[in-house]
Chain A
Amino acid sequence: MSTSSMKFSRRGFLKTSALSGGGILIGFNMFTACSPNAEVPKEVVDISQLNFNDFNAFIKIADNGVVTIFSPNPEIGQGVKTAMPMIIAEELDVAWDNVHVVQAPLDNVNYQRQVAGGSQSIRFGWEPLRQTGATTRQMLVMAAAAKWGVDPSECSTSEGVITNAKGETLGYGEVVKKAAALEVPENVPLKEPKDFKIIGTDAGNVDIDKIITGKPLYGLDYKTEGMVYASVLRPPSFGKKLDSFDDTATKEVSGVIDVIKFDDKVAVLANSTWQAMKGKKALKATWSNGSPMESTEAHDKTLIGLLNGNKFETLRKDGDVKKAFSEADEVVERTYESPFLPHNCMEPMNFYANVTDDKIHLVGPIQTPARTANQIAQKLGRNPEEVALEMTRMGGGFGRRLYGDFALEAAEISNLAKKPVKVVFSREDDMTAGIYRPSIKYRIAASLKDGQITGYHLKEASINSNMYGLIPNFFPAGAIANYQVDVAKYDSNITTGAWRAPYTNFLSFAEQSFFDEIAEKLELDPIQMRLDLLQKVKGTTDDRIQYSAERMEEVINLAVDKSGYYNEEAGVYKGFVAYYCHNTHVAEVAEVVLENNQPVVRKVTCAVDCGIVVNPLGALNQIEGGIVDGVGHTLYGDFIFNDGAPHVNNFDKYRLIRMKEAPEVETHFVKNNLSPTGLGEPTLPPAGAAIAIAIKNATGKRTYKQPLVKNMANAVELG
């Protein structure tokens, strides 16, 4: 098995230089190198001509051998700040205990791929991070070999120490100066996965000591001398415009410094967060309708209307679905419905900005630093080079921090106030001025003939945007001869965007529930039905197909085996799902028991194929979190719009899953040497369907609409 399928060019992406205080600094450009379609520079790049600003990640090796790795990717809780440096340290061959990891700032606004999103950081980083570590190690070996007058091939390394054939040793720190003067070698071989010492071992969160002792880490914790706090009054409903406001009472609130109108918003600046929030509450504003006030009731009608209509864009079409349907013994059609969802990151949105005549300094939690810096430069009519953006650890992301609206607000306010400003959202601001997971409805129809699925037609009606182009090539594409995916959308003034596992977070619920129901109709075992379908994909020449039938089979078999799916246990009801998204194959078995006649989700057993597991301890955390998140939102996530505004604005009314409702999660990895794929998202989509199927097996009732607690027949209360 090959360990890598991605091509990339190392030329010009590494640069070394000696540090004045001793030691070596190796710079590399993660985001050019990690791009899925990295541009290979045509002509030879003269390294000496490159500015160090072109490198956004660095390895520093000090004279005492201590290694510092500046991790470039934003950390939102998905563990890349630990996993990415582990990959470098592996090939560099140093002891993990001697490695310090520091979050690197955004140096240069031109790097577009300093992004956390789509579970891609590890997938794209794998090859270049290994190359970086291996090349650096090779230079240290070359320096030592030259000192000894031996051939580099006679030297070996371990834990930061180079040993020659005679058994003499030199620490990395002793040869860094010499290594820094060497030319960067090409085509350095990588380790065999069997020789990995760090990859595949458990590494704790690199920020753990700060987290458990309450040290400043997050955007909300950031503070500078002279900084003021801003609380922003935004339109109370989507579609409202600011007519006028009265700040008389606000100005009487102690600590309030200034009241500033910008766009359709009013910012209250004060000496403390509390005073700013109080000042905002005291504002009186009048609003008018700039566009119609929308509601969930109207959306429901519109989306059903779209599904009933014929204005679709076809994303994939195999064979002839119509013909298959006309020749079928039976056609089964079901509609699945999901609400809008807020992200509810535990740390509310916030950002620091200090806009001065000569530069713009931004600090805060953002998943897209480069894009945000550019947007701000553009909005303020400034040169992007004047923008310096520092990322902080993030109290959750889930997609919300891909959008820089809050950073833009901070910059606009600072620009007008001529002061360093920290914008802080209250929880109410965070929940009501969101960029939500759109409400989506799916209608799926299948034709059945002679005990087989002969046709499959999936229709999506969504708000503002439709599924991205690769999704129609997920299972069961390729397994059913007549297959079609159609999408339609309605443009709303309610802002929507990515939410952990976009589209698949609900599509999985719809499709997997549907397969289960089809299996029931055909009197087939639901797992065997999937395995039979997968047989038909094997050996496919259709290179659009995204999943691997073989890898899917493996996770299915592993989940069945480890969960004891076929072992009957009195009073335990199971639900099975196998799913592929974000390049990772996952199978889950949910177990539901009835307590006082109420279904309770007791356990989820999960089998995952994410290739090589870089940091199992971190990976398990992601997997558990994804499943608990999927279970929680499927059961409870409820978000209704009336008159352009959500019906809830804080955790007293918006129910998030809590300790007693969280199932036990048991995880098993498929072991292979394939390149690692992401884990931030893929375990979430299957979880909702798995519990819905288990609940059906417990209660006899299927639910087609989320959230389940509200829509289950008889509105059964869970937990």
Chain B
Amino acid sequence: MPSYSLKINGKSEQVEADADTPLLWALRDHLDMVGTKFGCGVAQCGACTVHVNGSAVRSCQLPVSSLDGMEITTIEGLSEDGSHPVQQAWKEIDVPQCGYCQAGQIMTAAAFLESNPNPTMDEIKNNMHGNICRCGAYNRIQKAVALAAKKMS
């Protein structure tokens, strides 16, 4: 079995997995980092969103063999203790219902706010449109992204 060296949350991690193993499953099954969620496996829901070199990407579509030298950040590494402004905003607004989609929502929002620290409501909606929340917590997600933007500015 091939072995890959991945840079995750600032640490180098060794993963023994088939070349086509998506990062999602390498994280969850091989590295016991289960914060990144499985929702669809076909890049449609955003539950598996992580950052690669600072951009939000769908980890269910990223083979471990394609990540050499890339900086990967997962929900576990966004902050050590939940102190990232997006996480804090999520807590303040009490966004989650079942909570399952929220790691992906937070990762999408965090990358978005890095590139657009002062978004309009329409820009927030456009950017979060790719992440499904089956529980329908969209009103609060929107508010939390706006609050996080405020915290970050």
Give A contacts to B, CB under 8 Å.
Answer: 76-79, 202, 204-205, 207-209, 211-218, 220-221, 223, 229, 254-255, 272-275, 344-348, 393-398, 424, 426-427, 617-618, 621-622, 624-629, 632, 650-652, 656-660, 662, 664-665
Contacts and interface: CB of A to CB of B under 8 A. Distances in A.
A649 to B, nearest CB: 10
A345 to B, nearest CB: 6
B21 A347 contact: no
B40 A427 contact: yes
Contacts of A651: 39-40, 42, 44-45, 132
* Range, interface on chain B: 35 or more
A651 B142 CA distance: 22
A380 B142 CA distance: 48
Nearest to A397: B98
B6 interface: no
Contacts of B39: 346-348, 427, 651
Contact of A625 (B45, B81, B137): B137
Given A209-B82, A218-B100, A621-B94, A629 B35 contact: no
B58 to A, nearest CB: 12
Contacts of B112: none
B64 to A, nearest CB: 10
B150 interface: no
Interface string B62-91: 000000000000111011011000010011
Contact of B91 (A212, A216, A395, A657): A212
A185 to B, nearest CB: 37
A392 B133 CA distance: 19
Contacts of B82: 209, 212-213
21 contacts: A77-B135, A208-B94, A213-B79, A214-B34, A214-B36, A214-B76, A220-B28, A221-B34, A229-B29, A273-B28, A274-B21, A347-B37, A396-B98, A396-B100, A624-B137, A625-B137, A651-B42, A658-B129, A660-B125, A662-B136, A664-B139
B18 interface: yes
Given A212-B75, A348-B39, 7 more contacts: A77-B98, A212-B82, A344-B134, A345-B100, A346-B98, A622-B97, A651-B39
Contacts of B135: 77, 346, 396, 625, 629
A622 B137 CA distance: 9
Contacts of A205: 94, 96, 99
Contact of A215 (B35, B79, B134, B142): B35
B33 interface: yes
B99 A393 contact: yes
B126 interface: yes
B125 A659 contact: yes
A272 B81 contact: no
B30 interface: yes
B106 interface: yes
B81 A656 contact: no
B75 to A, nearest CB: 3
B132 A656 contact: yes
A625 B136 contact: yes
A254 B42 contact: no
A272 B97 contact: no
A214 B33 contact: yes
A426 B99 contact: no
B34 to A, nearest CB: 4
Nearest to A621: B97
Contacts of B142: 659
Given A274-B25, A346-B45, A346-B132, A393 B98 contact: yes
Contacts of A665: 139
Nearest to A632: B136
Contacts of A204: 91, 94
A619 B104 CA distance: 24
B138 to A, nearest CB: 4
B140 interface: yes
B141 interface: yes
B57 to A, nearest CB: 16
Nearest to B29: A272
B103 interface: yes
Nearest to A617: B94
A275 B91 contact: no
B2 to A, nearest CB: 10
A662 B139 contact: yes
A211 B96 contact: yes
A273 B44 CA distance: 19
A220 B25 CA distance: 12
